[in-house]
Amino acid sequence: METKDDILILGIESSCDETAASVVKNGRIVMSNIISSQIAVHTVYGGVVPEIASRKHIENIDWVIDSALKEAGVAFSEIDAIAVTYGPGLVGALLVGVSEAKALAYALGKPLVGVNHIEGHICANYIQDPEFEPPYVALVVSGGHSHLLYVKSYSDFEILGRTRDDAAGEAYDKVARAIGMGYPGGPKIDAAAKLGDSKAIEFPRVFLEEESFDFSFSGLKSAVLNYLNKKKMLGEEINPNDVAASFQNAVIDVLTAKTIKAAKYKGVKKVAMAGGVSSNTELRKKMRILCDENGFSLNVPEPVFCTDNAAMIASAGYYEYIKGARSGLDLNANPNLKLGER
Interface with Zn ion (CB under 5 A) = 142, 308
Nearest distance from residue 253's CB to ligand KG4, in Å?
15
Nearer to ligand KG4, 134 or 169 (CB): 169
Among 100, 119, 173, 214, binds ligand KG4 (CB under 6 A): 173
Query: DSSP class of residue 200?
Result: S
Nearest distance from residue 273's CB to ligand KG4, in Å?
11
Strands (E), 91-174: 112-116, 136-141, 146-153, 156-162
Nearer to ligand KG4, 105 or 287 (CB): 287
Among 11, 87, 92, 185, binds ligand KG4 (CB under 6 A): 185
Query: DSSP class of residue 277?
Result: G
| From the list Zn ion, ligand KG4, none, partner contacted by residue 247 (C-beta under 5 to 8 A by kind) | none
Distances (CA, A) of 175 to 139, 232, 275, 311: 21, 16, 19, 30
Residues 242 to 301 in contact with ligand KG4, rule: CB under 6 A: 275-277, 279-280
* Torsion over CA: 301, 302, 304, 310 (sign): negative
* Residue 29, strand partner residues: 25
**112-116 and 81-87 strand pairing:** parallel
Nearest C-alpha neighbor of 151 from the set 266, 261, 260, 318? 266
CA distance 342 to 109: 22
Nearest C-alpha neighbor of 215 from the set 245, 246, 257? 257
| From the list Zn ion, ligand KG4, none, partner contacted by residue 148 (C-beta under 5 to 8 A by kind) | none
Our finding on whether 186 is near ligand KG4 (CB under 6 A) is: yes
Among 87, 134, 161, 184, binds ligand KG4 (CB under 6 A): 184
| From the list ligand KG4, Zn ion, none, partner contacted by residue 169 (C-beta under 5 to 8 A by kind) | ligand KG4
Our finding on whether 36 is near ligand KG4 (CB under 6 A) is: no
CA distance 209 to 138: 20
Nearer to ligand KG4, 168 or 271 (CB): 168
| From the list ligand KG4, Zn ion, none, partner contacted by residue 279 (C-beta under 5 to 8 A by kind) | ligand KG4
Nearest distance from residue 4's CB to Zn ion, in Å?
33
Distances (CA, A) of 103 to 27, 82, 249, 309: 23, 10, 46, 21
Nearest distance from residue 16's CB to ligand KG4, in Å?
6
Nearest distance from residue 320's CB to Zn ion, in Å?
18
Nearer to ligand KG4, 79 or 119 (CB): 119
Residues 306 to 335 in contact with ligand KG4, rule: CB under 6 A: 307-308
Q: CB neighbours (10 Å) of residue 128?
A: 16
Site string for ligand KG4, 133-172 (x = CB under 6 A): ---------xxx------------------------x--x
Query: DSSP class of residue 215?
Result: B
CA distance 151 to 119: 10
CA distance 203 to 196: 15
CA distance 246 to 227: 12
Site string for ligand KG4, 5-24 (x = CB under 6 A): -----------x--------
Nearer to Zn ion, 273 or 291 (CB): 273
* Bond from prior residue into 187 cis (ω within 30 degrees of 0): no
Residues that bind ligand KG4 (CB under 6 A): 16, 142-144, 169, 172-173, 184-187, 190, 275-277, 279-280, 307-308
